A = this chain, B = another copy of it.
Amino acid sequence: MSGTKIRVTVWNEFVHERELPEIAAVYPDGIHGAIREFLETNEDIEVKTATLDEPNQGLSRDLLENTDVLIWWSHAKQEEVTDENVRLVQSEVQKGMGLIALHSAHYSKIMRQILGTPMTLKWREHDTEKLWCIDPSHFLGWFGGGEVFRSGVTFRRGYGKIFYFQPGHEEQPIYRRPDIQKIITNAVRWAAPVYRVKEFPDNIHAEH
C-alpha cells in the first residue's frame, strides 16, 4: 500500500443492471456503485470503479499498479475479457495486488488463469443459502436443496492474496446486507498487500 488508505478498484461487468429493468431496480448505480458506496464509509479505504464498456475494458497497467485490492464481478460477458487484460491482472496479483472475486467470477477467465484450474459448479436459483464461517479463511455455504459449497475461500499466488466469495446473485440485493458488507470490508483489509514487488518472478532474470 502506498499512503494511508487502501486503494480499491471495483470492476464490474455492468451488463445485467443496464439490460434488465428488474436488476436495475435492485442496483440502480450498478453492482460496482453499491459496493463502492459501503466501502467508502470506511476511513481507511478509497474506491475507484471500472466497467467492461470503458476504454480497454476499464483496465490499464497504470490503474492496477495503483490498486491495492481489485474487486471483480463478472458473469454474462466474462469470456470477452481480453487475454491481455487477464495477463495484466494476473501479473499484478503475483506482484502483490489483492483480488476479491465475487459470485460468478469463480469461472472468470481471470480466476481460471490465476488459479491454474477452474472452480466449477452446478447451480440453481431461488434456493436459500446459509453461510457458516468455519475458519477465518473459509466460509461454508449450506443450501436448502441439500448441497454444500465452499462459499468463501482464500488462495495465494505469488505475493498476492485472493478471496473468492460466492454470494452476490444480481437478482437479490445481497451487497446491501450489512453482514455481507462486513465480510467484504474485512476481505479488503486482509487482501491489501503487505509486500508488493516490482517484478515477479523477481529474481529469475537477474540470475538466468
- A contact set with B: CB distance below 8 Å: 90, 94, 107, 113-118, 120-123, 130, 132, 134, 140, 142, 146-148, 150, 157-158, 200-204, 207
In the complex, the answer to whether A203 meets B116 with C-beta atoms within 8 Å is no
Copy number in this complex? 4
Determine the distance from Cα of A147 to Cα of B146 in the docked complex, in whole angstroms.
11
Determine the distance from Cα of A198 to Cα of B120 in the docked complex, in whole angstroms.
15
Closest partner residue, chain B, to A207 (CB atom): B122
In the complex, the answer to whether A157 meets B117 with C-beta atoms within 8 Å is yes
In the complex, the answer to whether A201 meets B120 with C-beta atoms within 8 Å is yes
Closest partner residue, chain B, to A93 (CB atom): B117
Contacts of A130 in B (CB 8 A): 146
In the complex, the answer to whether B120 meets A94 with C-beta atoms within 8 Å is no
Shortest beta-carbon distance, A93 to chain B, in Å?
A: 9
Known: A118-B201, A122-B203. A142 touches B132 (CB 8 A): no
Known: A132-B148, A147-B142. A120 touches B157 (CB 8 A): no
Determine the distance from Cα of A203 to Cα of B120 in the docked complex, in whole angstroms.
7
Contact of A117 among B94, B142, B146, B147 (CB under 8 A): B94
Closest partner residue, chain B, to A141 (CB atom): B148
Contacts of A146 in B (CB 8 A): 130, 142
Closest partner residue, chain B, to A116 (CB atom): B116
Shortest beta-carbon distance, A203 to chain B, in Å?
A: 5
